[in-house]
């Protein structure tokens, strides 16, 4: 269908270029206005269906005229799905967000946009926009998934891949809205993997844009050319705020997806994928980018300026790349593994597996886990944080045994646990009689639930400990750690006399890193948690040198976090 595009073209005849210039927005002004005028103050990952319903009620009471909010359907579990409508123009634009429940960045932006347009409607460019366009906004298409922050709906179906089967009520609703309003343009609003980069630049992609194809041949119809020009409008509006941070999403046709099929049905679709949050900036910036980009695109549509934009700007955007990004990279040091007789030159990279809620500060519970992504030559990897480990040796955390029911006092107090972690002790086999195994497990579970902070890994077992494993003192009586930064001094403050004598006799720390009681060895390999020590050998480290006891303990990292949180290298 080409009729909607022809309507756009014919409607431009009544306006002159000077009129366009007088009725235009400024991305710089929008960027600033959002901080002062934003309607939703809750970060997007923390903004659920209940908060949305409250916000919609507030908007209705604030704007009794100019805005209509309609419950147009419901989710699998019966949650309402709302459509917001504003504007009085002949050209319809459909925008939908959060068809994946864990992709929320644009949802508050749609409410912010509605509030901004209505509260500033006396401004000429906004009055002109509302006179030219009618906006249909679905802020949360998949509220069931949003409530539990998951991708798929309550049927376990990916709604975005349901354009042909229409097995989901959410998908059927979106199809019905498209057919009812026949919009000239659709905005499909998502979040993508936050480790995607802009081509091979190594710059994290703050947004990826796509003028969605409607067939496998990637045919460039007039409607799709309009979508490309709209992508250019967004890219130009956001460039000053995220220099080099814009990418172009994969244009491969996806036959099951809604964006591709809506394009095939006659409505060109612009996909906006929100991506990375820059270090030191709030998660809310992703919502802010949607606010500025979408409003700038709507303004370009309303004025007709969109037809003067060069689609080559969009086409020239680098590919949206899921490549060599890693969150943290230790570069230039040596690595030593249990069972290996020497240290060897290797970089170590890992990712911090933060959830969106943790990034936004609304997720309770323990810190996010980590995952090692590379051991070896990581020169081609790009990292958010690079730690210079030249002159140092990276080793895993060490393991020990605690014997008897009274040994629980090693874990009962936070400060005692912190002393263990500060000494690089990451795994403890807690040996108890078989009759107390279940009781110890239950006690441990209760303690972790009541006080989840700063725990080494503790495994309850009734098997006899291996004789070569280091043993903790019978009771936690070492007091504060010694001022001496040698790893040996810290270990000796924790272990029993037999272990201490063996360590001093062999003049080597390698025995600390023996296999644990369950047969697993603490080691640094891809997929494992990033828990390790940085040791200073007191001189230039050599690949053939053993782990001698004079080594200084420089840093302890527990599951991707420095302990106790030093800032060196960040």
**pLDDT tens string 438-461:** 999 999 999 988 888 888 889 999
The verdict on 372 and 310 lying in the same domain is no
The verdict on residue 328 lying in a domain is: no
The verdict on 355 and 316 lying in the same domain is no
Out of 2-6, 10-14, 224-228, the most confident range is: 224-228
The verdict on 311 and 354 lying in the same domain is no
Label each residue of 432-483 as H, E or C: CCHHHHHHHHHHHHHHHHHCCCCCCEEEEECCCCCCCCCEECCCCCCCCCCC
Dihedral over Cα of 238, 243, 249, 251: its sign: positive
Dihedral over Cα of 127, 128, 129, 132: its sign: positive
Indicate if the pLDDT at residue 433 is higher than 60. yes
The pLDDT of residue 483 is: 79
d(CA 187, CA 14): 26
Beta-carbon contacts of residue 55 (< 8 Å; ≥ 6 apart): 39, 40, 111
The pLDDT of residue 544 is: 59
The verdict on residue 293 lying in a domain is: no
Check if the beta carbon of residue 106 is closer than 8 Å to that of residue 274.
yes
Confidence of residue 202 (pLDDT cuts 50, 70, 90): confident
The verdict on 305 and 371 lying in the same domain is no
Confidence of residue 3 (pLDDT cuts 50, 70, 90): very low
d(CA 313, CA 371): 37
Indicate if the pLDDT at residue 372 is higher than 60. yes
Q: CA geometry: angle at 524 spanning 522 and 527, to 5°?
A: 105
- Count of other CB atoms within 10 angstroms of residue 201: 14
CB neighbour class for 438 (10 Å; exposed up to 12, middle 13-18, buried from 19): exposed
Q: Which residue has the higher pLDDT, 515 or 552?
A: 552
What's the number of domains the chain is made of? 2
**How do strand 133-138 and strand 91-97 relate by DSSP bridges?**
parallel
The pLDDT of residue 8 is: 26
Tokens (6 digits) for 501: 């004598």
The pLDDT of residue 539 is: 72
The verdict on residue 333 lying in a domain is: no
Dihedral over Cα of 389, 392, 394, 400: its sign: negative
- Tens digits of residue pLDDT in 120-145: 999 999 999 999 999 999 999 999 99
DSSP letter, residue 44: G
* Residue 187, CA atoms < 13 Å, CB-side half-sphere: 31
- Tens digits of residue pLDDT in 380-425: 888 889 999 999 999 999 989 999 999 998 888 888 888 888 889 9
The verdict on 260 and 357 lying in the same domain is no
CB neighbour class for 476 (10 Å; exposed up to 12, middle 13-18, buried from 19): buried
Confidence of residue 2 (pLDDT cuts 50, 70, 90): very low
The verdict on residue 237 lying in a domain is: yes
- Tens digits of residue pLDDT in 250-267: 999 999 999 999 999 999
Q: Rounded mean pLDDT of the chain?
A: 89
Report helix, strand or coil for 109: helix
Q: In Å, how far are 15, 27, 338, 399, 492 from 499, measured between CA atoms?
A: 87, 66, 18, 12, 8
The verdict on 437 and 542 lying in the same domain is yes
Name the helix (H) or strand (E) containing 228.
helix 222-238
Check if the beta carbon of residue 129 is closer than 8 Å to that of residue 298.
yes
| Average of per-residue pLDDT across 149-178 | 97
Where in 38-143 does DSSP place strands (E)?
Answer: 67-74, 80-87, 91-97, 133-138
Beta-carbon contacts of residue 375 (< 8 Å; ≥ 6 apart): 335, 346, 347, 348, 349, 524, 525, 526
Tokens (6 digits) for 327: 């969150």
pTM of this prediction? 0.84
Check if the beta carbon of residue 457 is closer than 8 Å to that of residue 425.
no
d(CA 397, CA 534): 10
The verdict on 282 and 402 lying in the same domain is no
Q: List, edge to edge, every strand of the sheet that includes 67-74.
A: 67-74, 80-87, 133-138, 91-97, 185-191, 269-274, 207-211, 246-248
The verdict on residue 490 lying in a domain is: yes
Expressed as residue numbers, the domain containing 315 is 3-286+301-321
The pLDDT of residue 479 is: 66
Indicate if the pLDDT at residue 568 is higher than 60. no
Beta-carbon contacts of residue 505 (< 8 Å; ≥ 6 apart): none
Out of 109-123, 359-373, 437-451, 461-475, the most confident range is: 109-123
The verdict on 261 and 361 lying in the same domain is no
CATH of the domain at 107: 3.40.630.10
The verdict on residue 329 lying in a domain is: no
| Average of per-residue pLDDT across 107-123 | 98
- Tens digits of residue pLDDT in 6-55: 222 223 333 334 344 445 679 999 999 999 999 999 999 999 999 999 99
Contacts from 150-158 at CB under 8 Å and sequence distance 24+?
Answer: 150/101, 150/102, 151/100, 151/101, 151/102, 151/103, 152/100, 152/101, 153/75, 153/76, 153/101, 154/75, 154/76, 154/77, 155/76, 158/100
d(CA 415, CA 459): 20
The verdict on residue 233 lying in a domain is: yes
The verdict on 16 and 101 lying in the same domain is yes
The pLDDT of residue 108 is: 98
The pLDDT of residue 7 is: 23
The pLDDT of residue 521 is: 52
Tokens (6 digits) for 52: 């949305």
The verdict on 387 and 425 lying in the same domain is yes
The verdict on 228 and 350 lying in the same domain is no
The pLDDT of residue 515 is: 52
* Residue 247, CA atoms < 13 Å, CB-side half-sphere: 28
Distance between alpha carbon 535 and the CA centroid of its chain, in Å? 31
The pLDDT of residue 462 is: 86
Dihedral over Cα of 79, 284, 201, 392: its sign: negative
The verdict on 317 and 349 lying in the same domain is no
The verdict on residue 335 lying in a domain is: no
């Amino acid at each position: 269908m080409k009729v909607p595009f022809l309507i756009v073209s014919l409607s431009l005849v009544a306006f002159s270029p000077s009129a366009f210039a007088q009725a235009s927005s400024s991305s710089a002004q929008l960027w600033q206005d959002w901080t002062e005028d934003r309607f939703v103050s809750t970060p997007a990952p923390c903004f659920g269906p209940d908060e949305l319903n409250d916000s919609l009620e507030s908007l209705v009471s604030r704007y009794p005229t100019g805005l209509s909010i309609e419950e147009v359907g419901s989710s699998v579990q019966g949650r309402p799905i709302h459509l917001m409508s504003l504007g009085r123009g002949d050209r319809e634009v459909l925008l939908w967000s959060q068809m994946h429940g864990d992709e929320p960045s644009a949802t508050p932006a749609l409410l912010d946009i509605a509030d901004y347009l209505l509260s500033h409607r006396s401004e000429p460019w906004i009055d002109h926009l509302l006179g030219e366009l009618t906006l249909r906004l679905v802020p949360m298409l998949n509220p069931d998934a949003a409530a539990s922050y998951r991708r798929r709906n309550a049927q376990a179906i990916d709604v975005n891949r349901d354009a042909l089967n229409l097995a989901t009520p959410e998908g059927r609703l979106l199809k019905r809205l498209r057919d009812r309003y026949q919009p000239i343009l659709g905005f499909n609003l998502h979040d993508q993997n936050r480790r995607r980069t802009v081509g091979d630049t190594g710059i994290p992609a703050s947004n990826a844009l796509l003028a969605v194809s409607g067939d496998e041949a990637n045919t460039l119809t007039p409607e799709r050319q309009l979508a490309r020009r709209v992508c250019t409008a967004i890219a130009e509006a956001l460039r000053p705020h995220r220099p080099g941070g814009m990418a172009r999403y994969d244009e491969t046709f996806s036959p099951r997806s809604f964006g591709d099929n809506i394009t095939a049905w006659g409505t060109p679709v612009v996909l906006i994928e929100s991506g990375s949050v820059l270090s030191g900036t709030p998660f809310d910036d992703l919502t802010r980018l949607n606010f500025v980009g979408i409003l700038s695109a709507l303004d370009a549509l309303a004025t007709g300026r969109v037809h003067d934009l060069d689609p080559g700007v969009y086409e020239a955007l680098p590919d949206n790349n899921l490549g060599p990004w890693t969150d943290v990279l230790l570069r230039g040091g040596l690595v030593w593994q249990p069972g290996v007789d020497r240290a060897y030159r290797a970089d170590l990279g890992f990712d911090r597996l933060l959830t969106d809620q943790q990034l936004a500060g609304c997720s309770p519970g323990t810190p996010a886990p980590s995952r090692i992504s590379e051991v070896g030559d990581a020169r081609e990897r790009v990292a958010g944080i690079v730690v210079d480990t030249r002159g140092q040796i990276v080793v895993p955390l060490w393991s020990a045994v605690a014997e008897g029911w009274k040994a629980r006092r090693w874990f009962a107090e936070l400060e005692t646990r912190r002393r263990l972690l500060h000494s690089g002790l990451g795994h403890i086999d807690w040996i108890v009689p078989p009759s107390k195994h279940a009781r110890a497990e239950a006690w441990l579970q209760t303690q972790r639930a009541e006080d989840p902070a700063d725990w080494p890994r503790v495994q309850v077992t009734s098997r006899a400990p291996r004789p070569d494993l280091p043993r903790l003192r019978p009771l936690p009586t070492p007091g504060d750690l010694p001022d001496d930064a040698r790893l040996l001094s810290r270990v000796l403050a924790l272990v029993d006399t037999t272990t201490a004598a063996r360590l001093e006799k062999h003049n080597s720390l390698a025995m600390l890193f023996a296999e644990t009681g369950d047969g697993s060895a603490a080691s640094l390999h891809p997929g494992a948690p990033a828990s390790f020590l940085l040791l200073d050998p007191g001189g230039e480290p050599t690949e053939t040198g053993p782990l001698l006891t004079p080594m200084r303990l420089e840093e302890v990292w527990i599951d991707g976090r420095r302990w106790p949180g030093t800032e060196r290298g960040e």
